Amino acid sequence: MAKKVIADIEKNTSTEEKIKEAARRVFTQKGYAATRTRDIAEESGLNLALINYYFRSKEKLFDIIIVEHLQLFIHSVMEIVNDPKTTLQQKMETLISHYIDMLIENPYIPIFVLNEINANPEKLIEKLGFEKMQRENLYIIKQWKEMAAAKKTPAINPIHIVVNVLSMTIFPFIASPLLRNRTGMSLGEFNKLMEERKKMIPVWINAMIKGG
């Protein structure tokens, strides 16, 4: 009996992961709006009823996938900002590169987050563990304060730098449909442009830090 229960759990987990992997591929290829639950069923090799049984709707499946991506991303960001072995500048460069890689792979995350923030910001904070982040003594903030005390950085609120990093990395992906439509860029050309920004944004941020 116990073996059967374990086998059923493993089967359910395997099926759920198979559906999520198929959904990730289809959402990335076609976009959220153009994706049908039937497309996910075909990609996974499973029937439509099974998709609906496990996840109820395309919207529910999309939410689960995006939240899982964001949770993994936030965990990796915490490792970067709390690394005592890297300088403030190195942290900025790594974070920017990390953000852009994540957004190229998951271009629909910014819109999802904006919608969630407008609909229920408290729920999003709870889902992603932002409360824990706020309570932790982030090493990157400690570094900033030490450098400011030594007059190696301007005496400005570091939140300005955070906002600039986020806006310069995230906004191009939000504006991607408009940019690509008006300039005639393909998706590949747009992604190449974002790769170039990995080197350019740290230069701009460093100039802000030095210039105050």
Residue type, 39: D
DSSP for residue 106: -
Residue type, 145: K
pTM: 0.71
pLDDT, tens digit (0-9, with 9 covering 90-100), for 66-106: 888 778 788 888 888 889 999 888 998 999 999 999 889 88
In CATH terms, the fold of domain 1-56 is: Arc Repressor Mutant, subunit A (1.10.10)
**DSSP string over 14-76:** HHHHHHHHHHHHHHHHH-TTT--HHHHHHHHT--HHHHHHHHSSHHHHHHHHHHHHHHHHHHH
In CATH terms, the fold of domain 64-211 is: Tetracycline Repressor; domain 2 (1.10.357)
* Structural domain spans, the chain: 1-56, 64-211
64-211 matches 1-56 in CATH topology: no
Confidence band, pLDDT 50/70/90 cuts, at residue 2: very low
- Give 184: exposed, middle or buried? Use CB within 10 Å, 0-12, 13-18, 19+: exposed
Contacts of 101 (CB under 8 A, 6+ apart): none
